[in-house]
Amino acid sequence: MSEIESLKKIEDELIELSESTNNIIQKANTENELDEIRISILGKKGKLSNILKNMGRLSSEERPIIGQKANILKIQLQDLISQRKNKIIEEVLEMQIANERLDVTISPLGTPLGKKHPLISTQEEIIDIFCGLGYSVENGPEIESDFYNFESLNIPKDHPARDMQDTFYINNNLLLRTHTSPVQVRYLEDNPPPTRIIAPGRVYRRDAVDATHSPVFNQVEVLCLDEGIDFSHLRGTVLTFLKTFFGDLPVRFRASYFPFTEPSAEVDVQWKGKWLEVMGCGMVDPMVLEKLGIDSERWTGFAAGLGVERFCMVKHQIDDIRRFYSNDLRFLEQF
């Protein structure tokens, strides 16, 4: 190859390098990518060095010409690379700023507030109504003795009524109370009549679980003892309570039996087109009072035990008692 041809070839190669690399540099998206490109063009073993290897073929006059051109190209490429680098840094920064920008106009998410469980609200509502009628709230233990849960309420050991309330026994004498009625006895032991109390609380039974039965549920016990109290007071109080709690809802009193009341009744309300028992009630049996040393000729009264879950189910059209204990937020958030 003649020297003229060599010169021309190297010059062409430099022009071609300049043209081809421009595009590659502009396409680099990261500083690392750009650095690799720089090394591949301007590094010791890069494309430019590769072209200049052939300078040995040139005459001593031609060499500075190519040297100058190569230098200009090198400076141009370095400029391009550093411009692109600045651009990349700028773009990265802009992206970062865009990503980190706070939209102060977005409405706050808010902290979800806890709510009362529907059973608590129902219990509170029942308490409120009776407090409005002059009753005060009393409590008793959930671990109860056989005496308070049964004996004192006229339910001796072999009494069939014990079958009505299948019991969780702790030992021969201790059990989980099956109803709130023992609070009546505990209260009357310490407080002479007249009496107007209610006693809300959990009770336990070895019932088979279904849509209306749970082994743990809540009752509110009611006890009214005074001179001259008869069944009409029981009826009036229960109906007033039901009307205040439910509004207008079909109600029926059904004759029943409890060992500690005589006469006794169960109260049903309409639920899902059927009658559902929501409370037991009756006139306090004189036997219960006499055992406590209370003169049953002078003091008469009525008592009732309300099933809180059932009141809540009827009021809110809840189809299954198990929903109260499943902690499903989709259910609980409706209240």
Which residues here bind ligand DAH, judged by CB under 6 A?
A: 179, 181, 221, 258, 261, 264, 280-282, 303-305
Nearer of residues 17 and 304 to ligand DAH, judged by Cβ: 304
Nearer of residues 167 and 264 to ligand DAH, judged by Cβ: 264
CB of 302 to ligand DAH, least distance (A): 7
Nearer of residues 66 and 303 to ligand DAH, judged by Cβ: 303
Nearer of residues 21 and 184 to ligand DAH, judged by Cβ: 184
Strand order through the sheet with 261-271 = 136-137, 195-204, 216-227, 299-307, 274-284, 261-271, 251-258
Nearer of residues 122 and 181 to ligand DAH, judged by Cβ: 181
CB of 309 to ligand DAH, least distance (A): 13
CB of 258 to ligand DAH, least distance (A): 4
| DSSP letters for 146-171 | HHHHTGGGT--TT-THHHHS---BSS
Maximum C-alpha span of the chain: 142
CB of 113 to ligand DAH, least distance (A): 35
- Nearest CA among 154, 201, 197 for reference residue 176: 201
The answer to whether the CB of 259 falls within 8 A of the CB of 286 is no
The answer to whether the CB of 180 falls within 8 A of the CB of 201 is yes
- What are the structure tokens assigned to 12, written together? 């062409």
CB of 169 to ligand DAH, least distance (A): 17
3-state secondary structure of 141: coil
CB of 153 to ligand DAH, least distance (A): 8
Nearer of residues 65 and 127 to ligand DAH, judged by Cβ: 127
> How far is residue 129's CA from residue 33's CA, in Å, rounded to a whole number?
78
Which residues, including other chains, have CB under 8 Å from residue 315's CB and lie 6 or more apart? Answer: 122, 245, 246
Could you give the angle at which helices 231-246 and 308-316 cross, rounded to 10 degrees? 40
Nearer of residues 33 and 262 to ligand DAH, judged by Cβ: 262
CB of 234 to ligand DAH, least distance (A): 9
Residue 233: count other Cβ atoms within 10 Å of its Cβ.
16
